[in-house]
């Protein structure tokens, strides 16, 4: 079986990694956040556990973030210097502007990363867990949006798609390779 645990695309600027996003060696990790910026389940819970209570306090101070936008905090106890809290949409069947909002939160996260001089950033599969966004559709929007951003921005120089399961990894690999 092919090894899909790590792969690079677009002359090495885009990358797939598998596993826990909090363990990656990157300057910033993106959190699949909720509008309240409250510690929750899924990847958000893992990031808050890794960062420690300072992260929740910083999020309380910010006071929230609308869907489709993003906010930057320090990484506190995490390996990453920054956490970028991006609020993706809940899936309501696809006719409530979900695609636009998902793309917007990826772009907002990348703009914050570029503005902070972040060289490398890792994204989880925003909205595809508790928020119910179908994985392949979300992956296509994520990849298209990141590629559009990289065409007009030199930073971040390394953008990692962090996949939590082998099945997710395979979907990302196919979309990035243009096979889906």
Residues in contact with ligand ADP by CB under 6 A are 20-22, 32, 42-44, 46, 88, 124-131, 162, 164, 168
The closest alpha carbon to 32, from 84, 75, 77, belongs to 84
The closest alpha carbon to 70, from 34, 46, 121, 43, belongs to 34
Q: Going by C-beta distance under 8 Å and a sequence separation of 6 or more, which residues neighbour residue 152? A: none
Minimum distance between the CB of residue 13 and ligand ADP, rounded to whole angstroms? 20
Q: Residue 27 or 128: which CB sits closer to ligand ADP? A: 128
Q: Are 120 and 158 in contact (CB under 8 A)?
A: yes
Q: Residue 88 or 156: which CB sits closer to ligand ADP? A: 88
Minimum distance between the CB of residue 12 and ligand ADP, rounded to whole angstroms? 21
Q: Residue 41 or 153: which CB sits closer to ligand ADP? A: 41
Minimum distance between the CB of residue 151 and ligand ADP, rounded to whole angstroms? 26
Q: What is the CA radius of gyration of the chain?
A: 15
Q: Residue 131 or 149: which CB sits closer to ligand ADP? A: 131
Beta bridge partners of 40: none
The closest alpha carbon to 70, from 37, 30, 108, 44, belongs to 108
Minimum distance between the CB of residue 73 and ligand ADP, rounded to whole angstroms? 17
Q: Residue 49 or 60: which CB sits closer to ligand ADP? A: 49
**CA pair distance 45, 49, nearest whole angstrom:** 6
Minimum distance between the CB of residue 110 and ligand ADP, rounded to whole angstroms? 17
């Amino acid at each position: 079986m092919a090894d899909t645990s790590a792969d690079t695309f677009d002359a090495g600027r885009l990358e797939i990694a598998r596993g826990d996003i909090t363990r990656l060696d990157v300057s910033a990790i993106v959190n699949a956040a909720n509008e309240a910026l409250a510690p929750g389940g899924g990847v958000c819970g893992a990031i808050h556990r890794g960062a420690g209570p300072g992260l929740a306090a910083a999020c309380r101070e910010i006071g929230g973030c609308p869907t489709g936008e993003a906010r930057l905090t320090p990484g506190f106890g995490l390996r990453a210097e920054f956490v970028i809290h991006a609020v993706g949409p809940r899936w309501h069947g696809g006719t409530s502007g979900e695609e636009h909002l998902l793309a917007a939160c990826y772009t907002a996260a990348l703009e914050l990363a570029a503005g902070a001089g972040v060289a490398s950033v890792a994204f989880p599969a925003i909205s595809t867990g508790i928020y119910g966004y179908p994985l392949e559709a979300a992956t296509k929007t994520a990849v298209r949006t990141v590629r559009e951003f990289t065409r007009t921005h030199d930073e971040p120089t390394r953008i990692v798609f962090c996949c939590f399961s082998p099945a997710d990894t395979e979907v990302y690999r196919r979309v990035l390779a243009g096979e889906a």
